[in-house]
Amino acid sequence: MTNMFNNLCNPAKLYAVLFVITLISSVFNGISIMTLAIKLIFAIIWIVVLNYICGSGFIWFSWLLVLLPFVLLIFGTLGLMKMVQSQQLLRSMQLK
């Protein structure tokens, strides 16, 4: 198992580690066995795809596929925070 993990490219390794963390969290939150199995199958397929992309010489694209959801989440959260601040500022100005 360790040898299989070591043969993965770095983006696939990162995705595998993030998946294990998510899986542990899901188990503690009462995930069903069927959902767990589906997530596991999807993760294995995605890890194989990421590793294939890396092996084809497109490591940057593999990194993009792994990190893009996190970048979008950060920008979405920052945008939402900015929108809430703007709404609060408008309300405070209207009350005066």
Count of domains observed in the chain: 1
User: Which range of residues forms the domain containing residue 23?
Assistant: 2-68
- The share of the chain scoring above pLDDT 70, in percent, equals 97
Q: Name the pLDDT band for 3 (thresholds 50, 70, 90).
A: confident
Residue-wise pLDDT tens digits, 15-56: 999 999 999 999 899 889 999 999 999 999 999 999 999 999
The answer to the question of residue 73 being in a domain is: no
Helices (H) and strands (E) in the chain, counts: 4, 0
The answer to the question of residue 80 being in a domain is: no
The answer to the question of residue 86 being in a domain is: no
Looking at residue 20, what is its pLDDT?
A: 94
The answer to the question of residue 33 being in a domain is: yes
On whether the CB atoms of residues 31 and 22 are closer than 8 A, the answer is: no
